[in-house]
């Protein structure tokens, strides 16, 4: 099972410059895109502000990484908001569990992985390499990330 934690980058700027109605519309558009990419077999939910979580049963690390790419691509497609067009970006953290696991722990790991992906983007490394936690592994690290997570 994989949990993908999705956070919109720069969402506050949309609210601050275009207003909360535009921010709400962006969230609606993103939710629709996430749902379309996942199809009917997985679950996606908005958990807070500009954060979404996807729970994907029977998905391993490689498939989760591919899915994260597809989610980011869908989010990045232009979003018309009134007279403006937004090209949204997202950071995606992945936690993959095999066998038994604590649901709170996998969600926390996905959240931590998302923040690792956010830190990696400005450093020029590949976000997925930084943002993947496999429960049970020893260290998840990015070459350019000074703060590796220990699992």
Q: How many domains are contained in the chain?
A: 1
SS3 labels along 140-151: ECCCCCCCCEEC
Given the residues 7, 42, 50, 111, select the one marked as catalytic.
Answer: 50
Q: What is the pTM of this model?
A: 0.82
CA distance 121 to 124: 6
What is the reported pLDDT for 72? 93
Task: Please report, for the domain that includes residue 27, its CATH number.
Answer: 3.30.70.270
Is 50 labeled as catalytic in the residue annotation? yes
pLDDT tens by residue, 79-133: 999 899 989 999 999 988 877 778 888 898 899 889 888 887 665 555 444 455 5
pLDDT tens by residue, 49-84: 999 999 999 888 889 989 999 999 999 999 999 899
What residue numbers bound the domain in which 67 lies? 2-150
């Amino acid at each position: 099972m994989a949990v993908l934690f999705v956070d919109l980058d720069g969402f506050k700027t949309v609210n601050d410059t275009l207003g909360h109605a535009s921010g709400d519309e962006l969230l609606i558009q993103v939710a629709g895109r996430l749902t379309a990419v996942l199809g009917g077999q997985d679950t996606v939910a908005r958990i807070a502000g500009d954060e979404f979580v996807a729970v994907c049963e029977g998905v391993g690390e490689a498939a989760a990484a591919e899915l994260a790419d597809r989610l980011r691509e869908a989010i990045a497609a232009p979003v018309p908001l009134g007279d403006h067009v937004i090209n949204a970006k997202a950071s995606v953290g992945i936690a993959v569990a095999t066998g038994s696991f604590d649901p709170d722990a996998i969600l926390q790991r996905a959240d931590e992985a998302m923040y690792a992906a956010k830190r990696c983007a400005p450093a020029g490394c590949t976000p997925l390499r930084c943002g993947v936690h496999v429960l049970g592994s020893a260290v998840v690290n990015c070459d350019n990330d000074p703060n590796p997570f220990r699992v």
